Amino acid sequence: MANITYIESSGNSTTINLTDGWSLMQGATANGIDGILGECGGSCACATCHCYVDETRLADLPAASEGELAMLEHVASERRPNSRLACQIKASPALEGLIVHLPETQE
């Protein structure tokens, strides 16, 4: 389990206790967080689960795969060095307290 805090572009903040193995995208969509769409269901094929990970925690995350990096080329909002796809980040105790900011738009 890990407490993950999602901060939407509006400033709305939601913290979820996410079960190990669930992706950050699944946690957001299952809890009604509007800033993540997850249109492809997590198969790294839509880029509508774009998020900005707290830069101080980037080292706690597994590196992005080639497929994720390719899909990050297609995000609707500005791509930044801390851009990731939420469907590719799975909850684990190492992510406890992680904060992710959500972009203004996903499409």
Q: Is 44 one of the binding residues for ligand FES (CB under 6 A)?
A: yes
Q: Is 85 one of the binding residues for ligand FES (CB under 6 A)?
A: yes
CA angle 8, 104, 101 (to 5 degrees): 40
Give CB contacts under 8 A, 24+ apart, made by 17-23.
18/91, 18/95, 19/91, 20/90, 20/91, 20/92, 20/93, 21/90, 21/91, 21/92, 22/90, 22/91, 23/86, 23/87, 23/88, 23/89, 23/90, 23/91
Sign of CA dihedral 5, 68, 20, 54: negative
Q: Is 51 one of the binding residues for ligand FES (CB under 6 A)?
A: no
Q: Is 33 one of the binding residues for ligand FES (CB under 6 A)?
A: no
Question: Among residues 27, 35, 38, 103, which is the contact residue for ligand FES, using CB under 6 A?
Answer: 38
- Judged by CB under 6 A, the stretch of 6-14, 46-54, 56-64, 76-84 that binds ligand FES is 46-54
- Judged by CB under 6 A, the stretch of 3-11, 14-22, 40-48, 73-81 that binds ligand FES is 40-48
Question: Among residues 53, 87, 91, 100, which is the contact residue for ligand FES, using CB under 6 A?
Answer: 87
Binding site for ligand FES (CB under 6 A): 25, 38-40, 42, 44-49, 71, 85, 87
